[in-house]
Structure formats: structure tokens, C-alpha cells
Structure 1
Amino acid sequence: MDLDWNKLFIGDLDFSFALEIIIRTLMMFSMVLLILRLSGKKGVRQLSLFEVAIIIALGSAAGDPMFSKDAAIVPSIIVFGSIILLYRAITYFAMKSEKFENIIEGEPIYVIEDGKFVLGVHKDHTFAKDEFFSEMRQESIEHLGQVKTAILETTGNISFYYYQDDEVNFGLPILPKPYKKKLYQLTEENIYACTYCGNTEKLQAGYHSCSRCDQKEWVIAINNVRLT
């Protein structure tokens, strides 16, 4: 079967409409950009799930008028106005009610406390340990024992609070190479870290279950201070 390249790339496009597509695109893009600027946000990492939903709705309203002859610009502007009014109303009620704000925006989640993972986080399938380790490495964190508390904010940012150098404990390594050397049968006495919860224990050779989470996967713990 011969491929119709003209139909694939051009279809029924009327080239006299091409200039109008450019004008429509510039207008709708400018409207989306203006509304995002008015929201006061400086970057994507500052957006909550609710605000991401608003952006998706704006993109949907802006998309069709950019290239469709049957989609006028004014109805899309009305949609924009409705979305902004909804956004303002919800943010107003969120300011008045902490419970309502938590429903809309979500709540910060404690990921690490006292150098160990908070166990409940691992039961939430939206938590990606590898991605979290990547975030830690970008903050020059080598192991969990350097971190007193880590909080996953509603914007997706992570807030870290560190131990002083003289307070650093043995912790679970988060660099790729040490973490990949997982052990089920320990061959020597040493201080080990549970790969599931980050709990550290001094263990003899043999098979052991974590006293905190009952998992049986270990790596050798380290206690290096954090380099800044």
C-alpha cells in the first residue's frame, strides 16, 4: 500500500488559513502565559496538583482555537475566565479552611525521620525511591544517617534538615554502587542498613530480619559526614 505523504503531512489544510493559525496560536499562547503570570508562580516545581489540573484545563481550552476553523477565540476566552474564577474561589476557601486546603492541595509527607524512612510512605505506590535517592544525591547526601528529617512538600519539592557533622549516624547508602550490593546472607560482623526502611543494626554473619520492618535485605552502612 502506497503511503499518501500529502495526506499525512498536509491533509485538507487550506494554506490561506495558515496565517490565521499563526495569529490564533500567538493569541492563545499569550493568554495562557498571562494567566500563569497572574497566578504568581515562578516555575513548574512550585505547582501543586490542583494548579497542574488548572494548567491542563487552560491548555485544553487553548488548543482547539489554535488550529480549528470551527473553534472561535471568544468562547475559549470565556472558558479561561471561568477557570480563573474557579481558581480564585478555591484558593479563597483554601485560605479560610485548612481542612479544605488539605483536600485540594494535599499535605506534606514526612519521608525521613531520625535518619530512617517513614514506613508508611512505602505503602503509597506513588512514592518512587529511586527518584527520591536522585533528589538526595543532588543535595550532596551520601546516606540516610546524614539526614535528620526530609519532608515531601505538596509542590513536589523536598525539604531536608541535616545532622551536624558530630551527630551523623550510620545510615543506608544512597549512591548507586553501594546500594546495589544487597545482601541476604551476611558474611561478617558489621553495621548494616535495611534497604527497605533504612534502619541500621550491628549484626553477626548469617540471615537476619530487620527489627523495625521485618525485611531481610541489607547493605553495609556508612557514616561519612556530608560534604558541602
Structure 2
Amino acid sequence: MEFPPGNGAAYIYNVPGDHVWEEFMEGDPVIILKDGCLQIKNFNKESIARDEFYAQLRLNAVSHLGQVRLAILETNGEVSIFYFADDDVKYGLPIIPEDNRKKHVTITDSGQYSCDTCGYTTCLDPAPVHICPTCQHKKWVPALNEKRLS
């Protein structure tokens, strides 16, 4: 294959159907949140900070992760957000700063709690320590299940 003088890279990039080159140059969109839980392995590989991600969610009227069915980090750095329908909203990790400060290692009251690290949400009974089955962390936040206000 001959390349036009001085235009080799542009020519290779514009080859129709050359998805390998395009993937190398741009990367792929990455699922960073699914069914209200952070996809920790995917999230940790990306360059977005957790507080920056939560800020983007709050700017889209999200108050807890149980309102979000799917969040995708696009190749341009933006986040695409897909919501649960109101009737399908789950309990989830609060991302409003004042609600997220109520972290517990020791659970004194039964209820719905979310792992502060990954957002895994479950009903917990009183115990000195609960270990998250998803990420093995120990800090829990009382979960919310309010519908999204738009």
C-alpha cells in the first residue's frame, strides 16, 4: 500500500472499517456504573475522579446511585447517564455530600445500607463489622430510594 506524501497517518486513520486503528486512537466507551453500583475495575482504570463523577451525576438531578441504570464514560470524557424509571428506582448510595458523610463501620440499626466504596446496597442487621461482598471494604452509608426529580 502506498501512502500519499506527508499524509501517511491521516490516510491510515481514514481507512474505512479500520476499527483497530480507531480503537487505538480513541479507546472504547467504558461502563463505570451499572444497576446502581460502580464497576470498580472499570472505574479505577479511567482518569475520572469519584467526586468529579458524582458531581456530573448531581448536575443531572441524581441524588443517589439507585436512580441510575447505567453510566458510560465516553471516549471524549463525557458521561452518558441512563436512569431507572421512577417505579424501578432502587435503594442506592447517596451522592449528596451531607447525606454521604454518615459513614458507619459498626451498624447499630437494621436497614438498607450502601457500601461507600462501590455502592453495593443491601439490608444489614446490627453488627460490629460488615464486609462488602463486592469490594471488601467496611464503610457503609444509609441508602436512599427517593425518585429522581427532574
Q: Identify whether the pair has TM-score above 0.5, normalized to the shorter chain.
A: yes
SS at match of 1:154: coil
The gaps in structure 1 that reach 5 residues or longer are 1-81
Aligned partner of 1:137 in structure 2 is 58
Match of 1:123 among 26, 30, 44: 44
Give the strand-richer structure, 1 or 2: 2
Structure 1 residues 177-203: Cα deviation after superposition (integer angstroms, max 9, x where no partner) = 111221111121110000111110100
Native 8 Å contact 2:32 2:43 kept in 1 = no
SS at match of 1:107: coil
Residues 86 and 158 of structure 1: CA distance in aligned 2, closer, same or farther (over 3 Å): farther
Report the alpha carbon displacement of residue 86 of structure 1 after superposing the two structures with TM.
Answer: 6.2
Amino acid at match of 1:222: L
Residues 86 and 142 of structure 1: CA distance in aligned 2, closer, same or farther (over 3 Å): farther
Residues 90 and 133 of structure 1: CA distance in aligned 2, closer, same or farther (over 3 Å): farther
Aligned pairs for 1:68-79 within 5 A: none
Give the helix-richer structure, 1 or 2: 1
Structure 1 residues 45-101: Cα deviation after superposition (integer angstroms, max 9, x where no partner) = xxxxxxxxxxxxxxxxxxxxxxxxxxxxxxxxxxxxx6xx467335303x4311211
SS at match of 1:141: coil
Pair 1:208-2:134 in alignment? no
Aligned pairs for 1:138-217 within 5 A: 138-206=59-127, 207-217=129-139
How many residues were matched structurally?
Answer: 144
Report the alpha carbon displacement of residue 115 of structure 1 after superposing the two structures with TM.
Answer: 1.2
Aligned partner of 1:222 in structure 2 is 144
Native 8 Å contact 1:191 1:200 kept in 2 = yes
Report the alpha carbon displacement of residue 127 of structure 1 after superposing the two structures with TM.
Answer: 3.1
Aligned partner of 2:22 in structure 1 is 101
Aligned partner of 2:13 in structure 1 is 91
Amino acid at match of 2:104: L
Higher normalized contact order (CA 8 Å, seq sep 6+, divided by chain length): 2
Structure 1 residues 86-126: Cα deviation after superposition (integer angstroms, max 9, x where no partner) = 67335303x43112111100110101111111121243262
Report the alpha carbon displacement of residue 176 of structure 1 after superposing the two structures with TM.
Answer: 0.7
- Sequence identity of aligned pairs in percent? 36
Amino acid at match of 1:135: Q
